[in-house]
């Protein structure tokens, strides 16, 4: 049997790019391989909502012509990618994974800035990817099909950039762009066994995105290696006049920060996240093994306490969710309530009732929680935790069915505890594959850095990937999907 990691569709985007640049493969070969994977497996995986196959092939032929003519644009030239269907792309409907919009309301008015930049760099947009409704998480019934984990389709692929985690994990594209308000890139990256970055707020333009948590929304890449994510960020990042909250800071050459070891670096394990009540024993074991790998690469690793991190989940929900709810109250919630998924509409309805006085106090508390986080960042180069505190769960166990207060805490707070402290603080955080559960489902390491410290967390993540092989392991879909089908029968 051939080694799956050597299949063209499972090479990292950086490896694919090197082959394209050397003209050992054509963008057309790669596009065909990606489209075949979508055609073959997406009836089960449901990573995609809209795919424009013919248009993508035509663009791949054009890229091939350019490259043969010596007009190589750079390391994204000819690479197929997808985006969470929460951002506009001309020619594609923006469904937002919802039945709330009428067909004529889904027309994209322009390209999101990230899509324009990636296209100018030569990457080819295949299509739009499945998501939890409006990117909010908690969807009970998906209008465009139930997304499934490629490692075992009975299991959850996380929220809310769900398809953007599945697709690169399944070899259906070279990379994806997701959106992370609370943990919506890192969760899917962790559950599907790929790398996912939540950038510093302001590092990547949000223009063209349909979201309303203006204090927390970020676009970021998901791909099969840290090197890929660094290369993609060199293109995606930067100031955009259309997004007044995007930063004017110059964009570093992130790929140049990769290499070497971790000598001289100080990392900290955040106790309140890494050892929180309810953490799964296999996650803890996998995380401790990852810590030892980092230590073996020369890092000094200590344990710290961030006692206010435990408040990040309610504070984010009391503030960012209230911002979102205020937008939806003015748009759709009053007059189309019954067209929302029950998981989305109850979350929005509750957030719409948060008093302004409470919102104000929550925003004050966010500053304190963030200050505690940044104080730790002054003493350490990066903070590390597991990305999720449980391995991926069965799909039916992840639905936010709320019938008593205990379920609110267990379903809404505990599962987010590893993500929200960094989202609330608006610092960059990356999820890197770090082993497997006993059931063969992915586990992951999260590395968080200082504001605009992406280069540092790329360096740590890349060193980890050079010392491990987790990112080179990929689901054998013929096997996993067939096994599931037999189990279901």
Partner 1 sequence: MEVTIEQVRVLSELQGLKLPEEDLNNVALRLSTWLTAMEQIEAEMGLQMNDVDPIPPVFPREEF
Which residues are known to be catalytic?
84, 160, 184
CB closer to partner 1, 143 vs 453: 453
User: Distance between CA atoms of 381 and 264, rounded to whole angstroms?
Assistant: 10
* Sign of the C-alpha dihedral computed for residues 460, 465, 467 and 468 taken in this order: positive
> From the list 275, 342, 414, 472, which residue makes contact with partner 1 (rule: CB under 8 A)?
342
DSSP H/E element including 335: none
Q: Hey, which residues between 291 and 320 contact partner 1 (CB under 8 A)?
A: 308, 311, 314-315, 317-318
CB of 183 to partner 1, least distance (A): 17
The SS3 call for residue 131 is: coil
Determine the size of the site formed for partner 1 (CB under 8 A).
55
Buried b (16+ CB within 10 A) or exposed e, 216-232: bbbbbbbbbbbbbbbbb
| 120: Cα separation from own chain's centroid | 22
- Measured from the CB atom, the residue of 64 and 179 that comes closer to partner 1 is 179
- CA 317/CA 256 separation, integer angstroms: 37
Q: Which positions from 470 to 489 touch partner 1 by CB under 8 A, shown as an x/- string?
A: --------------------
Q: End-to-end CA distance of the chain, in Å?
A: 27
Interface with partner 1 (CB under 8 A), residue from 453, 472, 476, 484:
453
For partner 1, which is the closer residue by CB, 49 or 447? 447
Q: Are strands 429-436 and 382-386 parallel, antiparallel or unpaired?
A: unpaired
Residue 379 CA to residue 398 CA, distance in Å, equals: 37
Q: Which two tokens stand for residue 414?
A: 């505990």
Instruction: Find the binder of partner 1 among 337, 379, 397, 469 (CB under 8 A).
Output: 337
Chain residues 400-419 in contact with partner 1, contact rule CB under 8 A: 402-405, 407-409, 412-413
The yes or no reply on residue 257 touching partner 1 (CB under 8 A) is no
Assess 353 for contact with partner 1 (CB under 8 A). Answer: yes
Report whether 187 contacts 423 (CB < 8 A).
no
| Residue 426 binds partner 1 (CB under 8 A) | yes
Of 166-205, binders to partner 1 (CB under 8 A) are 200-202
**Helical spans, DSSP H, in 110-225:** 113-120, 162-169, 186-192
In the complex, least distance from residue 98 CB atom to partner 1, rounded to whole angstroms? 17
Nearer Cβ to partner 1 (297/352) = 352
Nearest CB to partner 1, comparing residues 43 and 358? 358
Task: Name the one residue in this structure whose structure tokens are 């099909």.
Answer: 145
Stretch that binds partner 1, among 152-160, 273-281, 352-360, 481-489 (CB under 8 A): 352-360
DSSP codes joined into one string, 84-117: ETTB--TTSB--TT-SSS-GGG-B--S--HHHHH
**Under a CB-based contact definition with an 8 Å cutoff, are residues 480 and 153 in contact?**
yes
Site membership for partner 1, residue 441 (CB under 8 A): no
By CB under 8 A, residue 333 contacts partner 1: yes
Q: How far is the CB of 328 from partner 1 (least distance, A)?
A: 10
Residue from 28, 361, 476, 483 in contact with partner 1 (CB under 8 A): 361
Selected range binding partner 1 among 21-29, 287-295, 451-459, 478-486, rule: CB under 8 A: 451-459
Which pair of tokens denotes residue 170?
């399944």
When asked if residue 366 is in the footprint of partner 1 (CB under 8 A), the reply is: yes
As given in the structure block, the two tokens for residue 184 are 């919506």
Q: Which residues partner with 80 through β-bridges?
A: 124
**Judged by CB, which is closer to partner 1: 81, or 308?**
308
Quick check: 435 binds partner 1 (CB under 8 A)?
Answer: no
Task: Please report, for the chain, how many H helices and E strands are present, in that order.
Answer: 17, 11
CA distance 152 to 156: 9
Choosing from 23, 110, 214, 264, the residue that interacts with partner 1 (CB under 8 A) is: 214
Q: 379: which 2 tokens?
A: 């003493």
Closest distance between partner 1 and the C-beta of residue 265, in Å?
16
Exposed/middle/buried for residue 347 (C-beta within 10 Å: 0-12, 13-18, 19+)? buried
Q: Give min distance, CB of 201 to partner 1, in A.
A: 6
Tokens of 11: 């090479």
| Tokens representing residue 313 in the block | 């989940």
Minimum distance of partner 1 from residue 468's CB (angstroms) = 28
| Sites for partner 1 among residues 225-254 (CB under 8 A) | 245, 247
Cβ nearer to partner 1, comparing 110 with 214: 214
Scanning 237-301, the segments in alpha helix (DSSP H) are 271-274, 281-296
Q: Is 215 in the site for partner 1 (CB under 8 A)?
A: yes
How far apart are the C-alpha atoms of 220 and 235, rounded to whole Å? 11
Could you tell me the smallest distance in angstroms from the CB atom of residue 460 to partner 1?
16
* Residue 421 makes contact with partner 1 by CB under 8 A: no
Residues that bind partner 1 (CB under 8 A): 200-202, 214-215, 245, 247, 308, 311, 314-315, 317-318, 329, 333-334, 337-338, 342, 345-347, 349-350, 352-354, 358, 360-368, 370, 374, 377, 402-405, 407-409, 412-413, 425-426, 450-453
């Amino acid at each position: 049997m051939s080694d799956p990691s050597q299949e063209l569709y499972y090479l990292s985007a950086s490896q694919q790019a090197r082959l394209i640049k050397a003209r050992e493969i054509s963008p057309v070969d790669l596009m065909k391989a990606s489209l075949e994977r979508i055609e073959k497996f997406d009836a089960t995986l449901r990573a995609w909502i809209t795919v424009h196959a013919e248009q993508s092939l035509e663009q791949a032929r054009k890229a091939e012509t350019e490259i043969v003519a010596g007009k190589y644009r750079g390391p994204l030239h000819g690479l197929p990618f997808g985006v969470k269907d929460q951002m506009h792309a001309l020619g594609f409907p923006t469904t937002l994974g919802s039945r709330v919009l009428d067909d004529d309301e889904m027309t994209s008015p322009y390209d999101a800035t990230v899509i324009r930049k990636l296209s100018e760099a030569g990457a080819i947009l295949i299509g739009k990817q499945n998501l939890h409704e409006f990117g909010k998480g908690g969807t009970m019934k998906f209008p465009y099909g139930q997304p499934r984990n490629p490692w075992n389709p009975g299991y959850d692929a996380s929220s809310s950039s769900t398809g953007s985690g599945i697709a690169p994990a399944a070899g259906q594209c070279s990379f994806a762009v997701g959106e992370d308000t609370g943990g919506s890139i890192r969760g899917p990256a962790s559950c599907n066994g790929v790398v996912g970055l939540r950038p510093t707020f302001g590092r990547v333009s949000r223009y063209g995105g349909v979201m309303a948590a203006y204090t927390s929304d970020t676009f970021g890449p998901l791909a099969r290696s840290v090197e890929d994510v660094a290369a993609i960020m060199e293109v995606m990042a930067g100031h955009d006049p259309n997004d007044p909250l995007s930063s004017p800071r110059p964009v570093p050459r992130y790929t140049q920060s990769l290499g070497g070891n971790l000598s001289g670096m100080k990392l900290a394990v955040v106790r309140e996240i890494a050892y929180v009540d309810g953490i799964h024993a296999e996650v803890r074991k996998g995380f401790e093994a990852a810590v030892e790998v980092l230590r073996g690469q020369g890092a000094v690793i200590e344990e710290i306490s961030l006692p206010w991190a435990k408040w990040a989940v309610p504070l984010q929900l009391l503030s960012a969710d209230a911002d979102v709810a205020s937008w939806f109250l003015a748009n759709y919630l009053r007059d189309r309530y019954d067209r929302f998924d029950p998981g989305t509409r109850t979350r929005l309805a509750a957030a719409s009732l948060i008093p302004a006085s409470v919102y104000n106090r929550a925003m004050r508390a966010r500053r304190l929680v963030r200050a505690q986080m940044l104080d730790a960042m002054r003493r350490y180069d990066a903070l590390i935790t597991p990305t999720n505190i449980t391995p991926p769960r069965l799909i039916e166990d992840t639905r936010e069915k709320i019938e008593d207060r205990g379920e609110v805490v267990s379903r809404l707070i505990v599962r987010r505890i590893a993500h929200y402290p960094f989202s609330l603080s608006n610092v960059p955080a990356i999820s890197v594959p770090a082993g497997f559960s006993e059931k063969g489902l992915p586990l992951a390491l999260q590395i968080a850095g200082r504001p605009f410290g992406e280069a540092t967390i790329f360096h740590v993540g890349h060193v980890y990937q050079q010392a491990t092989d987790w990112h080179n392991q990929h689901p054998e879909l013929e096997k996993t999907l067939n096994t599931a089908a037999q189990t279901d029968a």
